[in-house]
Copies of this chain bind each other. A is one copy, B any other.
Amino acid sequence: MAVHNFQPTVYYTAIGAHEPVLHIDSGDTIITTTVDSGGRDKLDQSVTPRGNPQTGPFYVEGAEPGDTLSVHFDQLTPNRRIGRTATVVAPNVLDPGYVASQMPESGEAEWEIDTEKWTATLISPDTQLGKFAIPLEPMVGCFGVAPPRGQAISTATSSTHGGNMDYRGFAEGTIVYLPVFVAGALFHLGDGHAVQGDGEIVGTGIEISFDVQFTIHLIKGGNVAWPRAENDDYILTAGNARPLDQALQHATTELIQWLVELGLEKRAAHILLGQCVEYDIGNVFDPAYTMICKIKKSTLRQIGVLSSTS
């Protein structure tokens, strides 16, 4: 249960079997930093090329293909004053006829991040929104493990290994579960957002560098086909694909499989999800979109599938 302070000096824009930056044991905690999606650090200086550069990979001793990695996001904190967003909704998110005739000019907006008041305040450009302030909701846009068959997958997209899912629920206090495809698992993370709307529809959240702390556990074996997670209120699965219909198929199927693993017979799992399932949208900007399928822990406790302390 060691705590590792790690300061990154190299970043990757594809998640793959890169040379590990650190070897850790199951149960260890890592305290480190991430640069923003544009490769800028806490001093707002460019230290690596843009494109969701990842800190890591971290090698987990004993992790083998077929195992499951759990990652608890202990702390996700913006570590500088200025975050940035794009200003135009992405053309793939709008009606083609609107895109052909009504798109505003693209640009960049700056937001002041105040971790005392816990707000992000729009400071430029000057619009009707004025000094519009919204509460911080820090989340990590992109994380994952090395994918199977020797792949290295761009941090612009996502798949079974995780990747650029841009889901608001990947926030402090959440535990994510990822399938292990290579020895050591090779966990990466980056692309912190101070705030993000559903879908990351302008192609960015409020992009910012982070101080992060996370704790990794190795679970031998497991049946994780797509990223899973839990927070205080929900268990959830992430499906990554286009169209959203297919992402939804992946996430829904994975949640049924999870419920069956928890001891629910298949028929009961189907009936239960029919009236109790909930969906959230991850990103609808990247090559693969992300759909979240979830169910309340309170419901699972009610039917005895989760214990009252889970």
Binding site for B on A (CB under 8 A): 12-14, 16, 51, 85-100, 102-105, 107, 109, 120, 122, 125, 127-130, 132, 134, 149-154, 156, 195-199, 201-202, 204-206, 241-246, 248-250, 252-253, 256, 263-268, 270-281, 284, 287, 289, 299, 302-304
Query: Can you sample 19 A-B contacts with CB below 8 Å?
Result: A12-B150, A13-B149, A85-B271, A91-B96, A93-B248, A95-B249, A96-B249, A98-B256, A99-B99, A104-B266, A120-B275, A125-B267, A129-B272, A132-B272, A152-B152, A201-B274, A202-B273, A242-B245, A245-B289
Check B197 against A278 for contact (C-beta < 8 Å).
Answer: yes
- A97 to B100: give the CA distance in the assembly, Å: 10
Residue ID in chain B nearest A202 by CB atoms: B274
Q: Which of B87, B91, B92, B246 contacts A267 (CB 8 A)?
A: B87
- A158 to B265: give the CA distance in the assembly, Å: 34
Q: For residue A267, which residues in chain B have a CB less than 8 angstroms away from its CB?
A: 87-88, 104-105, 107, 125, 127
- Copies assembled: 4
Check B276 against A197 for contact (C-beta < 8 Å).
Answer: yes
Check B149 against A197 for contact (C-beta < 8 Å).
Answer: no
Check A241 against B242 for contact (C-beta < 8 Å).
Answer: yes
Given that A97-B91, A103-B100, A244-B244 are contacting pairs, would A277 and B201 also be in contact in the complex, using a CB cutoff of 8 Å? yes
Given contact pairs A89-B252, A197-B278, A242-B246, a sample of 20 additional A-B residue pairs in the complex whose CB atoms are under 8 Å apart: A13-B149, A14-B151, A85-B271, A85-B274, A87-B274, A88-B267, A89-B256, A89-B270, A93-B249, A94-B96, A94-B249, A107-B267, A128-B268, A128-B303, A134-B275, A134-B299, A149-B154, A151-B154, A198-B277, A242-B245
Check A127 against B199 for contact (C-beta < 8 Å).
Answer: no
Q: For residue A204, which residues in chain B have a CB less than 8 angstroms away from its CB?
A: 274
